[in-house]
Amino acid sequence: MRGVVTSIRLPRLSPDRVDRVRARLARELGDSKVVADAASLEANAGDESDQEPILPDVVVRAENAEDVAAALRVAAELEVPITPRAAGSGKSGGAVPVAGGIVLATIGMNRIVDIDRAEHVVVVEPGVVLGDLHRAVEAEGLFYPPDANSLAWCAIGGNVGENAAGPRALKYGATRDWLLGLDVALVGGEATFVGRRTKKGVTGYDVAALLCGSEGTLAVTTRVVLRLIPKPERVVTMMATFADVHAAGRAVMAALGSGIVPRCIELLDARTLDAVRARGVAVDEGARAMLITEVDGGEDDAMESAGRVGSRFDDAGALAVLVAQDASQRDRLWEARRQLSPATRAMARHKISEDVVVPRTKVPALLDEVDRISEAIGVSMLTYGHAGDGNLHVNFLWDDDDHEPRVEAGLDRLFRAVLTLGGTLSGEHGVGTSKAPWLRLEQGDLLVDLQRRLKAVFDPKGLLNPGKIFDESARSGTKGHRAC
């Protein structure tokens, strides 16, 4: 039986080759940008997924596009694996250097290069933290909607790498919907711009869209051009509680049928509410499900929209519908939502969090299946997430190491159920190593092989971020767990 911790490990470089690579990189980039001390290697070994951390042989701390190109040139010449990395908050193993080699750290490239107020465009380097980008453009009255809950930490390079999304994707979409163009460097060090800086443009293939979500397997991003819109004048945040998740599921469909597109509808199931209560947040004991919903718009119409959505919740049987009265109440509510990941992590020694998607009409069916899986495998599970677009974080929580095989069986059953319901394995975290063994189940042989061929066009020797997306040998180990 396969173990739950993803522990793909590819063959490593010999000590001689490691010495040669380090020396060559230091010559090209200078000693200060090429580090191999134990602390630096460790800091670049893992991410926030269940993929076992694996030490690289050397870390390049890129400060500009030339550094990135130089590292990629050395990687090609010496035929060394190279793994791009931003903040390392990924949840599918994308930034883990599973073959060792070079980690190309782009987090130091963190300049906001230009905020163009006339064109509503922002140009940033890949190490800019998402929350910093939000603050910078909002200070200019502009708005960048993608809002991964890791926004205080994750960076734009990783957001593009994973096509990250967040609660506001319900109305505004994911990173790809805001991406206009990218400066990239290829294995070998050639550099080019893909995409455009204008609002419209249809020349050639949409390579920027292809690279977005390619998990650092095709090219390395050195600069990103993103579209902006004017900041909505008003945001109204509501919290509605329900006696069970089915009532909440009905309320989601009722709200979406109201003619209003809320910018998010976040669901918390009964066990998640227990975790929230355990963190000291007061939630009515009778509530077994909660929806956190936001609408935005002009000063006058946002409140009216909120009223319409709220009355749909009432009609669907809400126990209570509360509207945040000011920004600080709203911030507290969102802080509680953003704390769900650490709060639920504290509930058991081990946690795996999936980010499956089903058609939103099938959310109640998925939640029923989660209950059945939990009962069948005897492992605690809880679910929260972006119910408005059917993207749910299904969590497995367990203490006993011997329960690994049960969790593995539960994961397999979950993924198969999701596909039977017409869904997809990942709504935002990507495939990485964690979901690679199931990719073929969703996409079939032809599509997987087409993508492998595409990868070979960009990277014929398979040096750039090897072991990701397509490597079905992942999840074959049973080495120790990290509670992730």
Ligand X SMILES: Cc1cc2nc3c(=O)[nH]c(=O)nc-3n(C[C@H](O)[C@H](O)[C@H](O)COP(=O)(O)OP(=O)(O)OC[C@H]3O[C@@H](n4cnc5c(N)ncnc54)[C@H](O)[C@@H]3O)c2cc1C
Q: Please give the residue ranges that form the binding site for ligand X (CB under 6 A).
A: 47-48, 83-91, 94-95, 106, 126, 148-150, 154-155, 157-159, 161-162, 164-166, 215-216, 220-221, 341, 428-429, 465
C-alpha–C-alpha distance, residues 248 and 367, integer Å = 11
Q: Which is nearer to ligand X, 194 or 321 (CB)?
A: 194
Rounded to a whole number of angstroms, the minimum distance from the CB of residue 128 to ligand X is: 10
Residue 233 beta carbon to ligand X: minimum distance, rounded to whole angstroms: 25
Nearer to ligand X, 90 or 310 (CB): 90
| Residue number with CB closer to ligand X (7 or 163) | 163
Cβ distance to ligand X smaller for residue 235 or 409: 235
Counting Cα atoms < 13 Å in the Cβ hemisphere of 91 gives 23
Min dist. Cβ of residue 190 to ligand X (A)? 15
Edge-to-edge strands, sheet with 380-386:
320-323, 234-242, 289-297, 264-268, 380-386, 391-398, 350-357
Q: Smallest gap, in angstroms, from Cβ of residue 423 to ligand X?
A: 17
**Measured from the CB of residue 194, what is the shortest distance to ligand X in angstroms?**
12
| Closest separation in Å from C-beta 92 to ligand X | 7
Q: Which residue is nearest to ligand X (CB)?
A: 158
Positive or negative CA dihedral for 194, 468, 151, 62? negative
Residue 341 Cβ, how far from ligand X at the closest point, in Å?
4
C-beta of 126 vs 390, nearer to ligand X: 126
Q: Are 463 and 325 in contact (CB under 8 A)?
A: no
H-helix or E-strand containing 312? helix 301-315
Bridge partners (DSSP) of residue 268 are 290, 384
Instruction: For residue 484, give both structure tokens.
Output: 């992730």
Shortest distance, CB of residue 62 to ligand X, whole angstroms? Answer: 8
Query: What is the DSSP-derived secondary structure letter of residue 53?
Result: P
Would you say 305 or 395 has its CB closer to ligand X? 395
Based on CB atoms, which residue is closest to ligand X, 241 or 353? Answer: 353
- Helix spans in 99-258 (H): 130-138, 156-162, 169-172, 207-211, 245-256
Residue 422: how many other CB atoms lie within 10 Å:
12
DSSP 218-243: S-EEEEEEEE-EEPPSEEEEEEEEES
Query: Which residues are registered as beta bridge partners of 115?
Result: 122
Rg of the chain in Å (alpha carbons):
22
Q: Closest CB to ligand X among 215 and 459? A: 215
Q: Are 235 and 294 in contact (CB under 8 A)?
A: yes
The Cα 468–Cα 95 span in angstroms is: 9
Instruction: Quote the least distance from Cβ 342 to ligand X, whole Å.
Output: 7
Query: In this complex, which beta carbon is closest to ligand X, that of residue 221 or of residue 241?
Result: 221
